Amino acid sequence: NAGVTQTPKFQVLKTGQSMTLQCAQDMNHNSMYWYRQDPGMGLRLIYYSASEGTTDKGEVPNGYNVSRLNKREFSLRLESAAPSQTSVYFCASSEIQTPYEQYFGPGTRLTVT
């Protein structure tokens, strides 16, 4: 039981490049989330998926797209990376879209130069 896994762990991009961050969970959770963590800012929600087939914007969605590929997988895409997107990205999942605790992946450290 791996919980929430994220790939890659580290990535360096040049401005304008695109990439997809992958997230998968094996806990049969319905809801999945993408956050970014910046120094002194806590975690901010980018997008979330309440259930398979639905996605919604969070607090900071600009510059990102998401895909809920199936119940297990939720990917985050940067179409044209910008230095402001340098951050640590966390994926999380929860049992259903209620205030149950969220379980987090190990994070992806992204640097955009």
Partner 1 sequence: AQKVTQAQTEISVVEKEDVTLDCVYETRDTTYYLFWYKQPPSGELVFLIRRNSFDEQNEISGRYSWNFQKSTSSFNFTITASQVVDSAVYFCALSDENSGGSNYKLTFGKGTLLTVNP
Residues 6+ apart with CB under 8 A from 79: 18, 63, 65
Select the span of 18-26, 64-72, 78-86, 97-105 touching partner 1 (CB under 8 A).
97-105
Select the span of 13-21, 22-30, 74-82, 95-103 touching partner 1 (CB under 8 A).
95-103
Pick between residue 14 and residue 42 the one whose CB is nearest to partner 1. Answer: 42
Distance CA 89, CA 91 (A): 7
Residues 6+ apart with CB under 8 A from 42: none
Pick between residue 14 and residue 28 the one whose CB is nearest to partner 1. Answer: 28
Say if CB 110 and CB 11 are below 8 A apart.
yes
CB of 76 to partner 1, least distance (A): 16
Residues that bind partner 1 (CB under 8 A): 33, 40-45, 48, 50, 56, 58, 88, 90, 92, 97-107
